[in-house]
Structure 1
Amino acid sequence: MAAILGGGLGGLSTGYYLLKNNITNNSNLKLFLVEATDYCGGWIKSIKTRDYIFEQGPRTIRPRGITGLNTLNMLQDLGLSEHISYIKPDHPAARNRMIYVNNTLYSLPSSLKGVFQKNEPFSKPLIYAALNDLKQPQKELKDDSIYNFVERRFGKEVADYAISPMICGICAGDAKEISVKFLMKTLFEYEQSYGGVVKGVMKSMFKPKNEETLELGELAKRAQEEKWNIYTIKGGLDTFPLVMKQYLKDNDVDIHLNTKVEEIEFIDSSMVQLKKSNGETISASHVYSSVPSHILAKLISKQHPQLSQLLSETPFVTVGIVNLYFATEKPLIEPAFGFLVPPIENSPILGVVFDSCCIPDQNGTVLTVMLGGRWFNEKFGSDVTKDRLLEIAVKEIKSILKIEDKVTAYNVGILDKCIPQYIIGHYDRVDRIRDYIQNKNLPISLVGSSYDGVGINDVIYSAKTQVEKDVTK
């Protein structure tokens, strides 16, 4: 029996790919999924009413790259093609993305033409950032923060007003701490290999590309042809994990909810025991851990303290989510995806998503305010109440967007330790973790957001690649 630890997107995807690789048919292997809560889907949760949908976690998915196309293949296979709502590049949610600086909302350039124009708060056209890269000397480093890298190559304004808020939006983190390899691994390698990004781009144009290939289904092909920018699922994004869970159940995967594991003990290279909080033990030949690395660290600490230490070194941040619904027919916002707030503004909020612009079937105005992240305790303390977060969010919204209407409905969530932070050295540490597991011949595989990417596409692709690697051993 193979055990999957955690019923979030990583665990569900692992079950899906184990089934797709016929692991149960080829070896008579039984699959068993253990989830500590009463819900499968992790941070993907949707509150649905007749008038609005509140997404309490992720809300949209990008279809780009091999990981994005892979997710579309999965959605098609699960029968969700007809439930997808997508946005093309000419949609306001694709074109209009803003930052809030000096009490003013500014639109970021969304076209090549915009790069050659002066756009506040930048003091010069962004094309000058490329010229700056050409003038800067090479700096040999093994890793660096994404902030330092961008400031060095493209200037402080780009680091402050473009990259820092982007990192807030992606992982609620501090660009001065996040590894450049998190988003700009290729550009960093250009600097290290060729002395600069522009030089690297030019030289790479004449080299053959060794990109991974993926057989595309009709849905993925359509997304490419129509140039989808982002998409979501009608009726709430949590439809995705709910359908995945049902797929696993239909294929005889035992799913045990409200089942907390307190310790993992490795007996030998083909036997592992999961000790539950009620004293019972689950024996398996292999375990796939999709739980956050800090949780796994506690489960294996007695037997493997060195591995536990490595796992616990990845920091996680807490994010406050405040969903707001205004039941008014008049538009309260300009059509856009939303706005982010650079950390140098010292604001209590990270940004705001205009859900009524990018999620279908919304009546009135729906907004989601993100708070805290890397600065959660610094801004709000460890015992902040949901009422206090609501108060702060509404105050900021009314001030920034000049909204005078009363909030009709709301939801407040505090997502404790919800996003891992890929700080400088993260990828080397993950290599050391996997080397330890391999050298000790431990029957465990690691999937999920703690290791190979924090986005929905990353988590799903992580499960796919890990399962395929294990199957071919």
Structure 2
Amino acid sequence: MAAILGGGLGGLSTGYYLLKNNVISNNNLKLFLVEATNSCGGWIKSIRTKDYIFEQGPRTIRPKGVTGLNTLNMIQDLGLSEHVSPITPEHPAAKNRMIYVNQCLHTLPSNIKSVFQTTQPFSKPLIYAVFYDLRQPQKHMQDDSIYNFVERRFGKEIADYAISPMICGICAGDAKEISVKFLMKTLFEWEQSHGGVMKGFMKSIFRSKSGDTLELSDLARKAQEEKWNVYSIKGGLETFPTALCDHLKNNEVDIQMNSKIEEIDFVDSSTVLLKNDIGEKLQAHHVYSSIPSHSLAKLVEKQHPELAKSLNEIPFVTVAIVNLFFEAQQLITPAFGFLVPPIENSPILGVVFDSCCIPDQNGTVLTVMLGGRWFKERFGDDVTEEQLLSIAMKEVNTILKINIQPSVNNVSILRNCIPQYVIGHYERVDAIRQYIVKNNLPISLVGSSYDGVGINDVIYSAKKQVEDCI
């Protein structure tokens, strides 16, 4: 038997690829998935009514690159193509992305023309960042924070007003701690190999491109042709993992809900015992772990304390989500939303204008994000949902000038929900996987703790880990 730990997107995708590659049928194996809670989907949760959708986690998916196209292939295979709602380049949610600086909202440059214009809060046109890079000396390093790298190559304003809020939006993290390889691995390699980003870019133009290729589905080709910016799923993003879960059940995958594993015992290189909280021992020949690294650490600590220590070194942050529904229409300017740079020392990370970027919303729907890397220092350990709602409403009032109370609200505190790829993360993950190989442990690591925090990354991580075991 093969076992999957965790029924989030990583675990469900692992099951999908095990079925797709005929790993189970070709080896006459049974597959079971163990989930500690009463629902699948992990942090992807949608609250749906006839008037609004409240997304508790991610709400849109990017279609770009191999990983993005791979997700679209899966979505079509699951029969969800008709449920996809794309945002194309001319849509306000694609053109209007803002930051809040000096008590004012500023729209970030979104086209070539705007790069040559001075746009607040930047003091110069962004094209000057290119010339800044060309003047900077090379600095040899194994890794660096994405903030330091961008400040060094493009200037402090780009680091403060473009990259720092972007990192807040992607992983609720501090750009001064997050590895440059998290988002800018290629640019960093250009600096290290060629002395600068633009020098590396110019040399890359004349090189043949190589890397992973995919056979594209009709949906993936459509996304390319129409140049989708992002897309959402009608009825809420939770529709996606629900369809994945149904797909696994329809293919006789044994999904065991409310089953908490308390210890993993590696008997030999092809036998694993999973001990659950009611004293049962489930046996498998191989385990795919999609649970957070700190959760896996607890399960292997008794037998492999060194592995547990390395898994625990991957930090996570807590994020509070405040969803707001106002019956009044058009309380906001059409846009994707805004982010707040950390230098503003705001209690919020940003606000997403859901009624602009998610279809089938009546009235005005907003999602306020709070905390992340700064959750404990700003709110302490005992903050209540009522206090977080009050803070969110105060900021919405101040920034967006919305003075009425929402008709409906929902507050969720998502504890330890997003891993932080701090400096040295990728070397740490390599060392963890080398330990597994060296000790012949029949386990594969899948999901956001290791190979990327986005939806596309998690799905692609499952695909690669399954293929590596074939």
The two structures have a TM-score, normalised by structure 1, of: 0.99
**Unaligned residue ranges in structure 1 (runs of 5+):** none
CA deviation string 1:278-326 (max 9, x = no partner): 1111010000000000000111001001111110000000000000000
Q: What's the counterpart of residue 381 of structure 1?
A: 380
Q: Greater shift after overlay, 19-28 or 165-174? A: 19-28
Q: By how many angstroms is 1:455 displaced?
A: 0.2
Q: What's the counterpart of residue 269 of structure 1?
A: 269
CA distance in 2, matches of 1:250, 1:354: 36
Q: What's the counterpart of residue 85 of structure 1?
A: 85
Q: What's the counterpart of residue 469 of structure 1?
A: 468
Q: What's the counterpart of residue 57 of structure 1?
A: 57
Q: What's the counterpart of residue 2 of structure 1?
A: 2
Matches within 5 A, 1:61-76: 61-76=61-76
Q: Does 1:397 align with 2:396?
A: yes
Q: What's the counterpart of residue 442 of structure 1?
A: 441
CA deviation string 1:65-99 (max 9, x = no partner): 00000000000000000011111000000000000
Q: What's the counterpart of residue 363 of structure 1?
A: 362
CA distance in 1, matches of 2:289, 2:25: 22
Q: What's the counterpart of residue 113 of structure 2?
A: 113
CA deviation string 1:341-372 (max 9, x = no partner): 00000000000000000000000000000000
CA deviation string 1:178-224 (max 9, x = no partner): 00000000000000000000000001111111131100000000000
Q: By how many angstroms is 1:328 displaced?
A: 1.1
CA distance in 2, matches of 1:328, 1:90: 25
CA distance in 2, matches of 1:207, 1:218: 29
Q: What's the counterpart of residue 13 of structure 2?
A: 13
Q: By how many angstroms is 1:258 displaced?
A: 0.5
CA distance in 2, matches of 1:256, 1:382: 33
Q: What's the counterpart of residue 419 of structure 1?
A: 418
SS in 1 for 2:457: helix
CA distance in 1, matches of 2:417, 2:382: 17
The two structures have a TM-score, normalised by structure 2, of: 1.00
Matches within 5 A, 1:215-254: 215-254=215-254
When the two chains are superposed, the root-mean-square deviation of aligned CA atoms in Å is 0.5
SS in 1 for 2:431: helix
CA distance in 2, matches of 1:159, 1:166: 10
CA deviation string 1:382-437 (max 9, x = no partner): 11100100000011001100012221001000000000000000000000000000
CA distance in 2, matches of 1:219, 1:102: 42
SS in 2 for 1:71: helix
Q: How many matched pairs?
A: 470
SS in 1 for 2:120: coil
SS in 1 for 2:392: helix
CA distance in 1, matches of 2:390, 2:404: 15
Matched letter for residue 320 of structure 1: A
SS in 2 for 1:287: strand
Percent identity over paired residues: 74
CA distance in 2, matches of 1:378, 1:39: 32
Q: What's the counterpart of residue 24 of structure 1?
A: 24
SS in 2 for 1:183: helix
SS in 1 for 2:413: strand
Matched letter for residue 389 of structure 2: L
Matched letter for residue 417 of structure 2: C
CA distance in 2, matches of 1:406, 1:315: 36
Matches within 5 A, 1:271-290: 271-290=271-290
